[in-house]
Amino acid sequence: MSMSRFDFPPGFIFGAATAAYQIEGSGFGGCGPCHWDTFAATPGNVIRAEDGSVACDHYHRWPEDLDLISAAHMDGYRFSTSWARVMPDGVSVNPEGLDFYDRLVDGMLARGLKPFQTLYHWEMPSALADKGGWTNRDTCARFADFSEAITRRLGDRVAAIATINEPWCVAWLSHFMGIHAPGLRDIRAAARAMHHILLAHGMAVERLRGMGQPNLGIVLNFDHAQPATDGAEDRLAADRWDGIFNRWFIEGITRQTYPEIVLEGLGPHMPDRWQDDMAVIGQKLDWLGVNYYTRHLNAHDPSAAWPHLRDVDGELPKTQMGWEIYPEGLYGFLTRMARDYVGDLPIYVTENGMANADELQDGAVADKVREDFLFAHLAATQRAITDGANVKGFFYWSLLDNYEWAVGYEKRFGLVHVDYKSLARTPKSSYHALARALTRND
Ligand code: IFM
């Protein structure tokens, strides 16, 4: 299957996405420690104890990376601004950090790329992590301060701002499942993080809108929840997973309520008077970001505590992450968001991509499987637009192979291969295929 930009409405934005800790390198330029540094330094948390100290050295090589984006005829770049780099102690501003992002944004504009900024893609300053991070309500106010400081510097030039990347990962994966920093497996911490991450979003939107900043949104991730069997118990299990993963955040924001099926488990552990925060959480959005990768088959597990869930292995082809390839799920979420939650609000696919065991051979990387993945998901997006979803752009995850959190550098998501010894960049065949699809014949 092949597609081109002309299969999409005029003005549709094609881009690639990255995140600060995964590519920049850290621990220099006045950058403070973040909870991923300590999480990675604790045995057993990250494969080979790899961390983001060098990553892709994007901090120094950003002009080459922006050149790669524009040479592929992309229109936008989704990047994030590290809290720990901008506010090393979580409170005071690091001018070097602001200067770096200032140069980066100017570099995008000089190449005709629209800057799509994310404020929190997981670099919680250690000083705030020490005080409880997202389990501590005060972190929400600190986040609003950070949002204001960085926006005072960049806000006149960015095209859009997302407050939080993937609240489900920030809260559930990190505080209930223990897989991401801070690595907790604690229902009370999880309930607090599930609520505080949305409160932080709402407080930041309120602050930035008060400054007159336009185009504010949030990036949510979605996982197609499918019952492992047709039985009533498995259907209920999938409904619980759907509630925790897919409904909690969007319903908190658009309906100012949380799904009952999730409150059944989390209710007793929520912060006092959480209901009083729902109006702040429900700030109007200017756009919604949808990250989509895969589906899960859910089975009821009576032997496990709430939410009584067990994953069942699916039969579809899988990526290097072991995630099933299921483009239909992207179509489903785009149309579901429009139908059930946001109506005509602009939606962006802010992340979609796959990890593959790519190999550099004779100076090239042949990743046909990624080309197929990408075009299948672009086709799903295009079909959602035809069926009424107001999708305005698509950002591939990721521009570069990079630090894939708890699984280190082994999983390669990039359109561009990175040799982690020399740090040389080599565009893969998927990069060239996308570049051909985006060529303007004008
Ligand atoms: O690498 C991550 C990214 O940081 C957030 N979304 C999912 C990607 C792939 O796991």
pLDDT digits (tens, 9 = 90+) for 9-20: 999 999 999 999
Rounded percentage of the chain residues whose pLDDT exceeds 90:
99
Distance, CA of 277 to CA of 197 (rounded, Å): 12
Residues of the chain with pLDDT > 70: what percent? 99
Closest atom, ligand 1, to C-alpha of 404: 1
Amino acid at 214: P
Active-site residues, by number, are: 166, 351
Is pLDDT of 332 > 60? yes
* Residues sharing a CB contact under 8 Å with residue 167, sequence separation 6 or more, in sequence order: 194, 197, 198, 201, 218, 220, 249
d(CA 103, CA 73): 21
The alpha carbon of 272 and the centre of ligand 1 are apart by a number of angstroms equal to 32
Alpha helix segments (H runs only) across 282-426: 328-336, 368-386
- In angstroms, the CA 330 to CA 211 distance is 34
Extents of the domains making up the chain: 5-437
Q: Is the CB of 251 under 6 A from ligand 1?
A: no
Assigned architecture for domain 5-437: Alpha-Beta Barrel (3.20)
Please report, to the nearest 10 degrees, the dihedral formed by the alpha carbons of residues 45, 48, 50, 55 taken in order.
-140
Q: Is the CB of 415 under 6 A from ligand 1?
A: no
Cα-to-centroid distance, 404 and ligand 1 (Å) = 7
Instruction: Provide mean pLDDT across the span 144-159.
Output: 98
Q: Is the CB of 249 under 6 A from ligand 1?
A: no
Element (H, E) at 252: helix 248-255
Q: Is the CB of 351 under 6 A from ligand 1?
A: yes
- Report whether 30 contacts 86 (CB < 8 A): no
**pLDDT given at position 260:** 98
Whether residue 401 has its Cβ less than 6 Å from ligand 1: no
The stretch 410-418 carries a mean pLDDT of 98
Averaged pLDDT, 190-198 = 99
Closest CA to 155 of 83, 75, 216: 216
Ligand 1 contact via 37 beta carbon (within 6 Å): no
Is 403 touching ligand 1 by the criterion CB < 6 Å? Answer: no
Q: Is 166 in the pocket of ligand 1 (CB under 6 A)?
A: yes
Task: Sort residue 183 into left (φ over 0), alpha (ψ -120 to 50) or beta.
Answer: left
Per-residue model confidence as pLDDT tens digits over 350-364: 999 999 999 999 999
Q: Quote the ligand 1 centre to 278 CA distance (angstroms).
A: 28
DSSP-assigned states of every residue in 106-149: HHHHHTTPEEEEEEESS--BHHHHTTTGGGSTHHHHHHHHHHHH
Looking at ligand 1, which atom is closest to the CA of residue 19?
Answer: 4
With a CB cutoff of 8 Å and minimum separation 6, the contacts of 362 are none
Supply the pLDDT for residue 368. Answer: 98
- The first and second tokens of residue 289, run together, are 């970001």
Average pLDDT over residues 37-64: 98
pLDDT of 138 strictly over 80 = yes
Asked whether the predicted pLDDT for residue 442 surpasses 60, the reply is no
CA atoms of 416 and 418, how far apart (whole Å): 6
Distance 408 CA to ligand 1 centre (A): 12
Distance CA(187)–CA(175), nearest Å, equals 7
Q: Closest ligand 1 atom to the C-alpha of 291?
A: 6
Ligand 1 centroid to residue 169 C-alpha, Å = 9
The mean of the pLDDT values for the chain is 98
Name the residue of 121, 405, 411 to mutate for ligand 1: max ligand atoms within 8 A of Cβ: 405
Query: Can you tell me the mean pLDDT for 43-60?
Result: 98
Distance 295 CA to ligand 1 centre (A): 15
Q: Are 68 and 106 in contact (CB under 8 A)?
A: no
Strand-strand pairing, 416-418 and 425-427? antiparallel
How far, in Å, from the CA of 302 to the mean position of ligand 1?
Answer: 31
- pTM to 2 decimal places: 0.98
Q: Which atom of ligand 1 sits closest to the CA of residue 402? A: 1
HSE toward the beta carbon, residue 292, CA cutoff 13 A: 29
The CA dihedral of 208, 211, 213, 216, to the nearest 10 degrees, is 20
> What pLDDT was estimated at residue 2?
76
Within 10 angstroms of residue 436's Cβ, the number of other Cβ atoms is: 12
Among 397, 403, 407, residue to substitute to test ligand 1 (most atoms within 8 Å of Cβ) = 397
What is the rounded CA–CA span in Å between residue 367 and residue 128? Answer: 41
Q: Whole-angstrom Cα distance, residue 89 to residue 126?
A: 7
* Residue 118, ligand 1, Cβ within 6 A: no
Cα–Cα distance for residue pair 157/81, rounded to 1 Å: 14
Helix (H, G, I), strand (E, B) or coil at 391: strand
Residue to probe by mutation, ligand 1, list 321, 323, 404, most atoms within 8 Å of CB: 404
Any ligand 1 atom below 6 A from CB of 19: yes
Residue 440 has pLDDT above 90, yes or no: no
Tell me, what's the pLDDT at 45? 98
Asked whether the predicted pLDDT for residue 1 surpasses 90, the reply is no
What average pLDDT does range 401-410 have in this prediction? 98
Please state, in angstroms and rounded to a whole number, the distance separating the CA atoms of residues 308 and 302. 6
Q: Ligand 1, residue 413: give the atom nearest the CA.
A: 9
Residue among 389, 313, 326 at smallest CA distance from 352: 326
Query: What pLDDT, in 10s, does the model give residues 252-310?
Result: 999 999 999 999 999 999 999 999 999 999 999 999 999 999 999 999 999 999 999 99
Contacts of 289 (CB under 8 A, 6+ apart): 162, 217, 218, 219, 220, 347, 348, 349, 350, 351
